[in-house]
Amino acid sequence: MPPPTLFKHIALASLLLAGGTVCAEEPTVLTLQAAAELAVQDNPDLAQMLARAKAMADIPSQAGTLPDPEISFSAMSLPVDNFDTRQEDMTQLLVGITQAIPFPGKLALREQAAAYEAAAATHNAQEVRRRLLSDVKTTWWLIFYLDRALGIVDNNQSLLHQFVDIARTKYEVGEGLQQDVLLAQLELSKLLDQKINLTALRRNAAARLNALLDRPANSELKLPADASMQLPAVLPEDRLYEQAEASRAVLEGGRQDINAAQSRLELAKKDYLPDFMVDASYGARDDMPTGDRRSDLLSLGVRVNVPIFAGQKQARAVDQRTSELMQQKYALQDQWNNVRSQISQSYSDYRRAREQFVLFETGIVPQAQQTVASMLSGYQVNKVDFLNLVRSQITLFDYETQYWKAFTEANQSLAQLSAAVGSDEIYE
């Protein structure tokens, strides 16, 4: 009886011959939903935008708070011959406090402008999130298509190998031509070239998706073998426009930028009005050398700035803020035009890809499959020449590839349309 270690070696050899290694782990299947969740959790670009929004949310309370008061300590009318604090009546040890007070309304406007800017930053982060999800879904569907295309290439290679065997057999028995064998081998070489290109494209797409998921670019990606083949109807363009006006984060962020610019304009107009500086100091005096008591002294004061250079300063600031407000309004209008353009393009792309998918699924691909089967039967009984058989198979290969391409482009357009609208509620 063989020793137990021999059984272990045999088992290990069996595993290796089966095509696997003992310690290798199969990559986890990455679904579309899992990819989206990973991107939202780990993408560094989104994380930095969220951190920026959080930082800006802490600014309004700072902008709306009075400046810190200043406390001073000093000695007044101190004789330098002996530094005796009792010699002169006006000698005092002073403790003072100074508080700057902006004209009423200025602090509120500063806080208001900062609050609008913080809200705009939050909406910008939401816009980055939407764009990230669109990029992830678009890249995921590209990899899904490339996997299907590579599968079609492998299937066609197997079929062409069968054609080569049939052509070679007929040639050997004198019923075929050598050029048929050479033609099939040429088509096999073309398929190999396509496989090389598709493999490189998949590697590049996987690197992009890994980067979006904050993973090493060379991490292996395994996608599901199947996906839902339903392509739902979407809302009309006008309804999508209305939805985008209420849901698109970049538009709301632009509105908040306008509000912030308006607040800064109002603040610039208030800069014509003076700010105040309130001073208070307490002077402690020592008793006289004779023992008589001296009273301590309290000093109060108010200072104001006088805008005597209003024409060169405040007026120019108002002009600046007015131009900035107009800039934000024009920027919002331009952004709204871009949003409508994005919606229309994605909507058109989806309708085109969806119609093509239905056409390939219900008409072109089944007809091409029937043509290939008929051609193969005819070739085997010498009623169809080999060139037509190969051409029919190549045509089927092209149609099957276009079928999956149309399906992929439809799903990519849905992802882009959802990002353009700023909502997932785009279906009828």
Give the total number of structural domains in the chain. 2
Would 11 be classed as within a structural domain? no
Residue 305 has pLDDT above 50, yes or no: yes
Spatial contact of 325 and 260, defined as CB atoms under 8 Å apart? no
Same-domain pairing of 165 and 233: yes
Question: In terms of domains, do 367 and 398 share one?
Answer: yes
DSSP secondary structure string for all residues of 192-239 = HHHHHHHHHHHHHHHHHHHHHTTS-TT---B--S--------B--HHH
Q: Is the pLDDT of residue 175 over 90?
A: no
Evaluate whether 307 touches 274 at the Cβ level (below 8 Å). Answer: yes
Torsions phi, psi of 198, nearest 5?
-65, -40
Same domain, 96 and 118: no
Asked if the model's pLDDT at residue 14 lies above 50, the reply is no
- Domain closes at, from 306, 323, 356: 306
**CB 411, CB 137: distance < 8 Å:** yes
Which pair of structure tokens corresponds to residue 175? 């019923």
* pLDDT top residue among 6 and 39: 39
Domain annotation covers residue 13: no
Instruction: Identify whether the C-beta of residue 370 lies closer than 8 Å to the C-beta of residue 426.
Output: no
Contacts (Cβ under 8 Å, ≥6 apart) of 421: 240, 243, 244, 247, 248, 343
Same domain, 79 and 138: no
What's residue 170's pLDDT?
66
CB atoms within 10 A of CB 290: 6
Given a cut of 50, whether residue 423 has pLDDT beyond it is: yes
| Parallel, antiparallel or unpaired: strands 92-101 and 70-76 | antiparallel
Strands (E) in 29-78, as ranges, are 70-76
Can you give the pLDDT at residue 365? 87
SS3 label, residue 114:
helix
Average pLDDT on 262-282 reads 93
Residue 349 scores a pLDDT above 90: yes
**pLDDT category of residue 19 using cuts at 50, 70 and 90:** very low
Residue 5 domain flag = no
Q: Edge-to-edge, what's the strand order for the sheet holding 297-304? A: 70-76, 92-101, 276-284, 297-304
Task: Please indicate, yes or no, whether residues 292 and 177 belong to a single structural domain of this protein.
Answer: no
Give just the sign of the alpha carbon dihedral 367, 369, 372, 373. Answer: negative
Please give the pLDDT value at position 178. Answer: 66
Band (102; pLDDT cuts 50, 70, 90): very high
Tell me the two tokens of residue 402. 């276009």
On whether the CB atoms of residues 283 and 299 are closer than 8 A, the answer is: yes
Angstrom distances, CA of residue 145 to CA of 219, 415, 419? 19, 15, 21
Do 413 and 375 belong to one domain? Answer: yes
Residues 6+ apart with CB under 8 A from 397: 152, 153, 156
Domain of 375 in residue numbering reads as 24-66+104-272+310-421
Q: Is residue 4 part of a domain?
A: no
Domain co-membership, 359 together with 214: yes
14: in domain: no
Q: What is the DSSP letter of 171?
A: H
Please check whether residue 75 lies inside any domain of the structure: yes
Residues 74 and 175 in one domain: no
What SS3 class is residue 289?
coil
Alpha-carbon distance of 329 to 257, in angstroms, equals 9
Q: Are 408 and 331 members of one domain?
A: yes
Q: What is the pLDDT of residues 393-418, one digit of tens each?
A: 888 888 888 999 999 999 999 999 99
- Do 232 and 299 belong to one domain? no
Residue 55 banded pLDDT, cuts 50, 70, 90:
very high
Residue environment code for 405-415, b if the CB has 16+ CB neighbours within 10 A, otherwise e? bbbbbbbbbbb
Residue 428 lies in a domain: no
Check residue 139 and give its pLDDT: 94
Q: What is the CATH number of the domain that holds 115?
A: 1.20.1600.10
> In this predicted structure, which of 183-197, 315-329, 359-373 has the lowest mean pLDDT?
183-197
Question: Does residue 215 sit in the same domain as residue 330?
Answer: yes
Asked if residue 140 lies in contact with residue 35, where contact means CB atoms within 8 angstroms, the answer is yes
Note whether 166 and 293 are same-domain residues. Answer: no
